[in-house]
Amino acid sequence: MKTATASAVTSFRTDESFAKEMDAKDPLGKFRERFFIPKKKDRSDMLYFCGNSLGLQPKTVRAFVEQELSDWEKLGVEGHFHAKNPWMPYHELLTEKMARVVGAKPVEVVVMNTLTVNLHLMMVSFYRPTAKRNKIVIEASAFPSDQYAVKSQLKFHGFDPNDSLIELHPRKGEDLIRTEDIESLIEKEGDSIALIMMSGINYYTGQAFDMKRITELGHKKNIVVGFDLAHAAGNIQLYLHEWDVDFAVWCSYKYLNSGPGGIAGCFVHERHAENKDLPRFAGWWGHDKKTRFLMGPDFIPIEGAEGWQLSNSPVLAMASLRASLDIFDEAGMDAISAKRNLLTGYLEFLLNSIQSKNFSIITPKDPARRGSHLSIRIMNSNKTLFNKLIEHGIICDWREPDVIRVAPAPLYNSFTDVFQLIQQLKIIFV
């Protein structure tokens, strides 16, 4: 289900009228006004390119949250059953829409906790090392929280990360990890690997890994394969069920616009749904719904991802995510992906049109191997360039040692945003 590559569809131009033409015919253009765009001092819109870090607020969030505040005000504890959206099964309101975002069956998805918590819960069940097979594979430049999580799991099981953690590096002089190198690693060391746990899209380089292929390769060697989709969920098309991924986790405050510290997602493949023998850390909300309130001492897990829940649902956080998922459901990941390819392709084209030795793009050129964000390496780690962007009301982020990430989000960024960004960059970067 590949979307056409940006360059195949459009020959980009550098003039402003091109951006205006693209905005005029953009089928998702109307979604911009569903979001609050932060303002500069002069009340004009900021150029916001940070949806990969914290997505903007849908204007409907307030009403969704106020509904629950109002039911709490009027009903107190009775809201669990008699609120307009009863709180007892509130998380179920999110399941189908979230499942569509990641290409999963509803039984495979649950919204709960936060990302790193879910990653640990998944490793409790799916990292089951033995003396012979105990290694974990992760990319060398993975997000720190993921590195801490896998290292602490190794130690928890009595293994030394120096021996049992395999970090995938790019080749010397390269920035990206080659799939063929992942392949040869699995070929060579597969029998000692218990778990491959990588990001779907690397937060630093913006490289999208070939999750389907990696899962296939891992499974051939009986390795469990899980992904951290923090930068992939709501950004690229995912087919977790079809790809046969064992588990996945993601946060919802980045591309999924659920607000700071928003509640996270978790995927467990249907193959594992009925396996009651998997070790897991249990809590009452994962217990069979029919008998949960009998308050018996023995844990009987719900079949599917819901069986990993621990606690009752943080309804206020879920309310804001609901507002956002409604928008995703209406727009659809196909349309979001099609615009993403165009918008990011346009950003790349304009960046390449700036004649300057002060920066280079390290994100893959192939649209199938990246999402929205482009990582721009700044020569000599010159952070003053980034500071100047902020002064001009351009919001993107700096990642040590030397990268500026720019992420146009298809639901609220326009081609004109990208054009205006480049006009500033031409002054600042040259």
Ligand X SMILES: *Cc1c(COP(=O)(O)O)cnc(C)c1O
Residues of this chain that bind ligand X (CB under 6 A):
114-116, 143, 145-146, 199, 203, 228, 230-231, 251
DSSP 231: T
Strands 193-199 and 224-228 turn out to be parallel
By C-beta, is 28 or 362 nearer to ligand X? Answer: 362
Please, what is the minimum distance in Å from the beta carbon of residue 419 to ligand X?
28
* Alpha-carbon separation of residue 395 from 39, 354, 358, 406 (angstroms): 11, 20, 20, 8
By C-beta, is 203 or 285 nearer to ligand X? Answer: 203
Q: Which residues contact 108 (CB under 8 A, 6 or more apart)?
A: 99, 240, 241, 267, 268, 269, 270, 273, 304, 305
How many angstroms separate the CA atoms of 112 and 415, rounded?
A: 35
How many angstroms separate the CA atoms of 240 and 100, rounded?
A: 10
Beta bridge partner(s), residue 147:
none
Please, what is the minimum distance in Å from the beta carbon of residue 114 to ligand X?
4
By C-beta, is 310 or 335 nearer to ligand X? Answer: 310
Please, what is the minimum distance in Å from the beta carbon of residue 293 to ligand X?
30
Q: How far apart are the first and last CA of the chain?
A: 40
> Residue 298: is it exposed, middle or buried by C-beta count within 10 angstroms (0-12/13-18/19+)?
exposed
Which single residue is written with the structure tokens 């588990």? 247
By C-beta, is 48 or 204 nearer to ligand X? Answer: 204
Please, what is the minimum distance in Å from the beta carbon of residue 199 to ligand X?
5
Please, what is the minimum distance in Å from the beta carbon of residue 125 to ligand X?
18
By C-beta, is 28 or 101 nearer to ligand X? Answer: 101
Inter-residue contact 89 to 111 (CB < 8 Å): no
Please, what is the minimum distance in Å from the beta carbon of residue 78 to ligand X?
33
By C-beta, is 83 or 236 nearer to ligand X? Answer: 236
Inter-residue contact 280 to 299 (CB < 8 Å): no
Nearest to residue 399, comparing CAs of 363, 427, 366?
Answer: 363
By C-beta, is 115 or 407 nearer to ligand X? Answer: 115
By C-beta, is 3 or 372 nearer to ligand X? Answer: 372
Please, what is the minimum distance in Å from the beta carbon of residue 115 to ligand X?
4
Inter-residue contact 362 to 207 (CB < 8 Å): no
Inter-residue contact 6 to 341 (CB < 8 Å): yes
By C-beta, is 150 or 350 nearer to ligand X? Answer: 150
Please, what is the minimum distance in Å from the beta carbon of residue 358 to ligand X?
27
Task: Report CA Rg, the chain.
Answer: 22
How many angstroms separate the CA atoms of 263 and 306, rounded?
A: 14
Please, what is the minimum distance in Å from the beta carbon of residue 336 to ligand X?
19
- Which strand (E) or helix (H) includes residue 227? strand 224-228
